[in-house]
Amino acid sequence: MTTDSPSPVPVAPEGLSRRARRFVEVDGIRLPRQDIRRHRDAWTGRGIPAAEIDRAVAFQDRWGGLALPPAVFYEGGPRTLDADCPEGSDTEGWSFPAGDCRVSMAYGFMIGPDGAFGIDAHRWTPLHASVSGWVESLALAAHARRWATTVTKITGKAVEALDPDGYEPVPEVQGLTDTWWRGRTSLVAVYRGEALGLDAPRCLETHIYDGLDEWGLHGG
């Protein structure tokens, strides 16, 4: 069963930056979202705490059915943001899926016990402190690609040699494992999730967007 959306044009949730709101409403599509409330009795019958079901329902109400353009990493990220049955335990904590992958992957996208958005690979690896941070990172990458004069990709051990001196973190992306940095004329995205989550240092990757003016650096 799905809950119909009145329009395929999404309205951005509260709390996003102007740049991210524009990204969601111009580049996103709102698809009919799954009604996960109908599973409540079955899930509680399997021992899933009501509070964890409420968390998944709140996510679905806010983000469910939102399809955004592919991310530049993680094989594009979730096809559509959609919650599903929580999994875990009271000892280890509870998580729930954040949406199906676009392609066959060695991991899935999850919302962790503390609300972080991340990947469940060989281990749980939080990427951003919330799904809002993930959406902000998508919006910033789209903006940076549009306005940069050059884009440089660095992979593997060479990433560790980069000097962050003179750069400041971009706070709205709520970076944990993945981070964004702003310099005088450039934005730098560091993707560590696959390297840590899959124990694969070769997957470490940085994108440097250079030649940016003030609008390019901030863009809302």
Return contacts of 41-47, CB within 8 angstroms, 24+ apart.
43/85, 43/86
The CA distances from residue 118 to 18, 125, 144, 148, in Å, are 24, 5, 22, 27
| Amino acid at residue number 69 | P
Q: So what's the pLDDT on residue 26?
A: 96
Report percent pLDDT > 70 for the chain.
97
CA gap 81, 99 in Å, rounded: 5
| Whole-prediction pTM | 0.94
* 3 pLDDT above the threshold of 70: no
Mean local confidence (pLDDT), 194-199: 96
Mean local confidence (pLDDT), 92-105: 96
* 30 pLDDT above the threshold of 60: yes
Whether the Cβ atoms of residue 64 and residue 98 lie closer than 8 Å to each other: no
Mean local confidence (pLDDT), 86-98: 96
Q: For helices 18-27 and 131-147, what crossing angle results, to 10°?
A: 80
pLDDT digits (tens, 9 = 90+) for 182-192: 999 999 999 99
* 4 pLDDT above the threshold of 60: no
How much is the mean pLDDT over the chain? 94
Helix (H, G, I), strand (E, B) or coil at 76: helix
Confidence label for 160 from pLDDT (cuts 50, 70 and 90): confident
